Amino acid sequence: MTYLQLAAWFVGAAAIAAVVLMVLTPRARRPHAAALAIAAVALIVLTAVFDSIMIASGLFHYSPDHLLGVHIGLAPLEDFAYPVAGALLLPALWALLRARRDHGSANSSGEADA
């Protein structure tokens, strides 16, 4: 399996999970698309910078036989799948958990008044 195939499976699973979580989250609690885009760009920039530093310092390397061959800085393109997956999945999970927490707080405070 190449790094690109692994990355595609990982991003695909994160995207499917994010869609499911967003469907389960009330519309008012869903993250805004602009916020997700800003977070994704920030994570991609940070990945390019810090992965390049780590690769240049020799902390790790990739087998060129399993890479697509496209690099941003020294970081292979496949390495950017993980921040993209995180930018998709984590805000959706956070929104769902926050909505459930707020819903639980509203129920328990309503029961205390009754």
**Three-class secondary structure assignment of 71-94:** EECCEEHHHHHHHHHHHHHHHHHH
**Half-sphere CA count of 100, side-chain side, radius 13 A:** 10
Distance, in Å, from the CA atom of 67 to the CA atom of 3, rounded to the nearest integer, reads 6
- Is residue 24 situated within a structural domain? yes
The alpha carbon dihedral of 43, 48, 53, 55 has a sign of: positive
pLDDT digits (tens, 9 = 90+) for 11-60: 999 999 999 998 998 887 788 889 889 999 999 999 999 999 999 999 98
Total domains, the chain: 1
> pTM for this structure?
0.77
Q: Give a yes or no: residue 70 inside a domain.
A: yes
Residues pairing with 76 in the sheet: 71
Confirm whether 113 is domain-assigned.
Answer: no
Q: Is residue 57 part of a domain?
A: yes
**104 within some domain:** no
**Rounded-to-integer distance, Cα 82 and Cα 98, Å:** 23
